[in-house]
Amino acid sequence: MSQMEQIQQVTGHTPAILGCDYAAGWAEGTPNQIIDYSCNQYLKDHFNKNGIVTIDTHFPNPVFPNGGGLKNRSTLVFTDLLKPETETGKKWRAYIDIVADGLNDLQQAGVTVLYRPFHEMNGGWFWWGEQNPTEYKNVWAALFDYFCNQRNLHNLLWVYAPDQGPPNHALYYPGDSYTDIVGLDVYVDDPVRFLY
């Protein structure tokens, strides 16, 4: 929030979008320590002042018992996320349940959320990146179904966000039924030149 205040002091304007990351996938600890939605109080206030709210989730790799492993793809069977009977599936469900609790807290406050799961999936730096495209789409659809149909979260706009650098921007697209917004993650020094 101090960065928001600095921008407002310099420009005289409050940024329209305030984002929060619920998951510290690089950290170790219990699911409740790694997944944290205490930023909701700021998101609610921002939304109530006509701001736009976005949430990311840099999930820890669920094959690691104590969290962490954000960039470790070596031991994960990606489809185990769909199998709650596996240890990976149980850990994954523990993570997404806490995220769903946070999103529901926002829903109860009337906050609409741009939700961006599994971003930069076309790059190989996160554990969910460069997976089999069909399996990736199935995991995305299962998360969508769990949040929207089982947890009754209807305040989410789902954002598909590949990275601009690697190819195959659309290869992992889960389909119009599971996506509301498409955008690129772009990291360049000269964004104007990138656009042209």
Task: Render pLDDT for 49-65 as a digit per residue (tens, 0 to 9).
Answer: 999 999 999 999 999 98
For domain 17-195, say whether CATH 3.20.20.80 is its number. Answer: yes
Q: Is the four-CA dihedral 51, 54, 97, 68 of positive or negative sign?
A: negative
Reference 138, options 80, 94, 56; nearest CA is: 80
Q: Any idea where the domains of the chain sit in the sequence?
A: 17-195
Residue-wise pLDDT for 57-89, tens only, equals 999 999 998 899 999 987 889 999 999 999 999
Whether residue 191 is predicted with pLDDT greater than 70 in this model: the reply is no
pLDDT at 195 (0 to 100): 60
pLDDT of residue 4: 83
Given a contact cutoff of 8 angstroms between Cβ atoms, the answer to whether 23 and 59 are in contact is: yes
pLDDT of residue 39: 96
pTM: 0.92
Question: How far apart are the C-alpha atoms of 185 and 172, rounded to whole Å?
Answer: 15
Strand pairing class (17-24; 181-182):
unpaired
Q: Span 133-150, mean pLDDT? A: 97
